[in-house]
Amino acid sequence: MKQILITVILCATALVALRIAVPKSEKQSSVIEAIHARRSIRQYQDKTVEREKLEQIALAGIAAPNAMNRQAWAVRIVDSKEWIDACTAAYLPTIEGTPMAAHLLGDGFKNMFRNAPAVIFVAAQPSAYAGVDCGIMGQNMMLAAYELGLGTCCLGSPVGFMNSEAGAQFLSSLSLPEGYCLQFAIAVGYADETPEAKPRDESKIAFVE
Ligand SMILES: Cc1cc2nc3c(=O)[nH]c(=O)nc-3n(C[C@H](O)[C@H](O)[C@H](O)COP(=O)(O)O)c2cc1C
């Protein structure tokens, strides 16, 4: 009994010490770590993404700050291989012989969404803030996915196709609210590559005196 009591007291003391030893700012640094460790992933394992994870990602997305909290956005999640493959089959003839085809088709090509097994589409009601709102939402989703062990790639290239005649049926199948425009897609899946960080130009940052 005495031994149990001593163990409990020791554990409680260790927990209190840990709280004191790790300042709040350091505990929060995992967000900054994730920001710097995230990479655009373009090769994915043949592994289904759990719907619970996709839902968690979407919920992180709509937690984003947005102008006047209007939430004039729509999120659509596609994890159907049939849908992704059919969309890809309709897309490929439209890029035949273009640099995009050379860019996209290569070793390990599976589909137009950078080979991912799931895609999240983000649409918005056009407004001065739509791009900002959806952009912040997108980064929220990519960081949430990172924390859940998933890779992502923000994709602008499918938008033009889905707004074209050849892609109309796929856009329509997203059942977006009237007047909403597709902003981008996010490929999601278990990464099958570990790309190096792309360099960033730090001269873009300046303090103003
Ligand atoms: C709005 C937007 C559109 C993008 N479109 C594509 C795309 O169509 N295809 C692609 O492979 N990557 C696309 N990317 C990913 C960028 O190429 C990538 O973020 C950039 O090269 C930096 O690499 P990193 O994300 O690994 O840091 C897009 C990114 C953004 C933000």
CATH of the domain at 124: 3.40.109.10
**Ligand 1 mean position, distance from CA 134 (Å):** 15
Provide the domain count of the chain.
1
For residue 103, being part of any structural domain is answered with yes
Per the DSSP assignment, residues forming a β-bridge with 40 are 152
**Would you say residue 122 lies in a domain?**
yes
Is the beta carbon of 71 within 6 A of some atom in ligand 1? no
Tell me which residue range forms the domain holding 69: 34-189
DSSP code of residue 167:
G
pTM of the model: 0.88
Look at residue 201 and tell me if it is in a domain.
Answer: no
Ligand 1 pocket mutation pick from 100, 109, 154, 186 by most atoms within 8 angstroms of CB: 154
* Residue 6 lies inside a defined structural domain of this protein: no
Q: What is the pLDDT of residue 13?
A: 56
Give the position, in ligand 1's atom list, of the atom nearest the Cα of 157: 8
Which segments in the chain show pLDDT lower than 50?
11, 15, 18-26, 28
State the Cα–Cα distance between residues 124 and 134, nearest whole angstrom. 7
Q: Which among 43, 108, 54 has a CA at the least distance from the CA of 79?
A: 54
Compute, in angstroms, the gap from residue 42 CA to the centroid of ligand 1.
10
Contacts of 136 (CB under 8 A, 6+ apart): 64, 65, 66
Q: For atom 30 of ligand 1, which residue has the closest CA?
A: 154
What pLDDT score was predicted for residue 4?
56
- Residue among 113, 115, 122, 155 to mutate when testing ligand 1 (max atoms within 8 A of CB): 155
Cβ of 39 closer than 6 Å to ligand 1, yes or no, is: yes
Q: Check residue 189 and give its pLDDT.
A: 98
29 located within any domain: no
Structure tokens at 114: 């950078």
- Is there a domain that residue 194 lies in? no
Q: Would you say residue 17 lies in a domain?
A: no
Residue in 153, 201, 204 to alter for ligand 1 test, most ligand atoms within 8 A of Cβ: 153
| Residue 196 placed within a domain | no
